[in-house]
Structure 1
Amino acid sequence: MTNHQKRLSVPKSWPVERKTETFTAKAGAGPHGESGVPLVVVLRDVLGYVDDSSEAQYAINTDGVLVNGGSVGDVKRPIGMFDILAFPARDEYYRVFPDEGGRLGLTPIEADAADSKLNKVEDKTTVAGGKTQLNFHDGSNLLVEDDSFSGGDSVVVENETNEIVAHFEYEEGALVTAVAGQHAGEIGTVEEITVQPGSAENTVRVETEEDAFETVEEYVVVIDENFVGDDE
């Protein structure tokens, strides 16, 4: 198994230049599946805080960078949509958020906003004991007593306690952002949800401040009005 990934074949969401060099770091095992970007790529290629893997490893060994409120052991740890990166010594905090090209970017946030993470509920299952397991977009899951959640909803989970502190329902009138497709990065309100027959993908029409667009349901995530910060 090689430790490198050819730049030309990385997922479109990876924020790397594809023609400057042949290889980049390969993501290790972890959340976000194939779309996860190795932490070292974010530190080196996006933020410019390190020059190589050795410097990145030193940074995580000294808790110079935290992911979703916790320490990281591997510089190849996959980073993906809605993860929270914290640099305590720099007093800098970022949320991973798709830009208008669909590539993962970093949105600066306040320190108090770094204490929790938004998760899209992909689906839910009932487990032993009658509890409900929420399965999230990044492959993680959470057991809850409440069964009021549905696929497509979003929840905000507090990093330290792993408790849900906010719940946003996927419904007409909800504020959403597109995270993939040609409208990635656009934000608007759900105008209409169309349930397609058979195995066809459901679609959603989103009204923005300037226009409207239609995309597949899988590509939208419910957010709240303060989620993307003051710059958006």
Structure 2
Amino acid sequence: MSNHQKRLSAPDSWPVERKEETFTVKADAGPHGETGVPLLIVLRDVLGYVDSRKEARYALEGGSVLVNGDGNVAEDRPVGMFDILAFTERDEYYRVFPSEGGRLSLTPIDEDAAASRLGKVVGKQQVAGGAFQYTLHDGTTLRADDSYAGGDSLVVDNETKEIVAHFPYEEGALVTAVDGGHAGEIGEIEEIRVTPGSGDNAVVVTQADGGFETIADYVVVIDENFTEGGEE
């Protein structure tokens, strides 16, 4: 199987120039599915910290580049929405955040905020022993009690993997759109519209200068610290 991805056919979320060269690196199997951006693209094309795949491998061997607290990462490791990147030698920390047009961008944050990451609950099922298993948007699974629901957001400690905060999906919640025509926009849920049958549910989001309506799957509950780079 090829290790290369044609730039023109790369997912819209990838922050790469489409016409500069024909190919770019292909993401390895892992978190975020097809939307995951290879770490090499972040290091080379976004931050400019390396010039080649070889340099990226060398930089990662030292363990000073962490993704969600993990220093054992390869250059083709997929990086996606709400992941935390830490460059410990540089004392730099970033959260991957959706920007206009659906592309992923890096939001600078402080070291305390980098200790945990946010995940949207996209699946829930009861398992043996009475506990519940929750699946987050990046494929992570967690076990907890019955306190959370689909669409909620959970903040997970990168070291202990414990849930340290919970943002319910409900009217009045602060959300960001992560896909569709309003990707990157932030507002409060005014109304949740449940569509009977197999149709997509919708949300009406209000903003200071107006608002928008989008598919419920396209919004993620956050809090104000996610737009300011402060602590969760």
Residue 59 of structure 1: SS of its match in structure 2?
helix
Equivalent residue runs for 1:1-232 within 5 Å: 1-144=1-144, 146-229=145-228
Structure 2 counterpart of 1:41, one-letter code: I
Q: 1:10 to 1:102 in 2, by over 3 A?
A: same
Residue 76 of structure 2: SS of its match in structure 1?
coil
In the alignment, structure 2 segments of 5+ residues that lack a partner are: none
Shift of 1:230: 5.7
CA contact (8 A) 2:110 2:229 kept: no
TM-score, normalised to structure 2, is: 0.97
CA RMSD of the aligned region, Å? 1.0
In structure 2, C-alpha distance between the alignment counterparts of 1:46 and 1:167, rounded to whole Å: 31
Shift of 1:59: 1.2
Any runs of at least 4 consecutive aligned residues in structure 1 with deviations exceeding 3 A, and if so which? Answer: none
In structure 1, C-alpha distance between the alignment counterparts of 2:4 and 2:46, rounded to whole Å: 18
Residue 45 of structure 2: SS of its match in structure 1?
helix
Residue 111 of structure 1: SS of its match in structure 2?
coil
Structure 2 counterpart of 1:69, one-letter code: G
Structure 2 counterpart of 1:199, one-letter code: S
Shift of 1:73: 3.2
Moved more, 75-84 or 221-230: 221-230
CA contact (8 A) 2:16 2:45 kept: yes
In structure 1, C-alpha distance between the alignment counterparts of 2:146 and 2:138, rounded to whole Å: 21
In structure 2, C-alpha distance between the alignment counterparts of 1:29 and 1:123, rounded to whole Å: 20
Structure 1 counterpart of 2:64, one-letter code: G
In structure 2, C-alpha distance between the alignment counterparts of 1:166 and 1:121, rounded to whole Å: 13
Show CA shifts across 1:67-120 (max 9, x none).
Answer: 001113311000000000000111100000011121000000001000000000
Shift of 1:225: 1.4
Shift of 1:128: 1.4
